[in-house]
Structure formats: C-alpha cells, structure tokens
Amino acid sequence: MLGVSENPARPAAGVRLCTLAEIADPGGKSFRFRAEAKLFAGFVLRRGDTVTGFVDSCPHAGWPLAPFDDRYLTRDQRHILCAGHGALFTLDGQCVVGPCEGEALTPWPVELRGGEVWTA
Ligand code: FES
C-alpha cells in the first residue's frame, strides 16, 4: 500500500487551488485530485490572510473530516471537527478530544501568493 506522500494523485508543489476569497473566513475548503484509481483528499483552512493545509484523512479511521460540506471548524471556530466520530483538533492539527487523542492530522503544505492559494 502506498503512503500518503507516495499517493500519485497528490498534486505537486505549484498547483493553484483557488482564490483566497473562495474560502470562508474563518473556514475551510476541500480539494480532491484523482489519478486513475487513486484519490488525494486535502483541505485548506483560512483565518484572515493565513492558510493551512491538511490531508483530509482523520487519524482515527481515515475518513474525510467533513465529507458532505466544507464545515471543518467547530461552531466556535476554535477547533477542527471530524464529523466521523466527533474528534476535535487544534487549528494546527493536534487531536485533543476523541478516539485519536494524541495523534495529528498530516500537514499538506500550501501557500498564499497574490490572493491565490497554491500547493507548496
Ligand atoms: S474518523 Fe474521525 S473521529 Fe473517527
């Protein structure tokens, strides 16, 4: 089985994802890339002019965190929420409540350039 970093569907650095304005502030947006039968799922969080990317796979069961919408943040916007079984993560991806407490989301490097979000 391929590791996350070996997933052929994962976009290389330098791929444009969206404009900053397309992500709610604060909020998140999912991205999906396919290469034949392989899928790469990632999401980007925005807080003002700061963007942070993660692989969209919960360390508990590997499910995407917000499979039906882009609601990655809790209502108070202080944590990332996994819809699967309710795990809560700090905004830097550390699980602090739930079945994967002590584990972390996998970073997906992204950057902001001229009002657009790119893979880094
Ligand atoms: S899959 Fe995320 S908490 Fe279970």
DSSP one-letter code for 3: -
What whole-number distance in Å separates Cα of residue 23 and Cα of residue 86?
A: 23
Q: Write down how long the chain is.
A: 120
Taking the CA of residue 63 as reference, the ligand 1 atom at the shortest distance is: 1
| CB distance 66 to ligand 1 below 6 Å | no
Among protein residues, the one whose CA lies closest to atom 4 of ligand 1 = 85
CATH code where residue 79 lies: 2.102.10.10
Ligand 1 centroid to residue 15 C-alpha, Å: 29
Q: Which residues are bridge partners to 41 per DSSP?
A: 32
Cα-to-centroid distance, 91 and ligand 1 (Å): 16
Give how far Cα 21 sits from Cα of 26, 47, 56, 116, Å. Answer: 11, 11, 21, 8
CB of 71 shorter than 6 A to ligand 1: no
Provide the pLDDT for residue 2. Answer: 52
pLDDT tens-digit profile, the chain (120 residues):
455 558 999 999 999 999 999 999 999 999 999 999 999 999 999 999 999 999 999 999 999 999 999 999 999 999 999 999 999 999 999 999 999 999 999 999 999 999 999 999
Range of the structural domain that residue 106 is part of: 4-119
Tokens of 99: 């079945």
pLDDT score, position 3:
53
Structural domains in the chain (count):
1
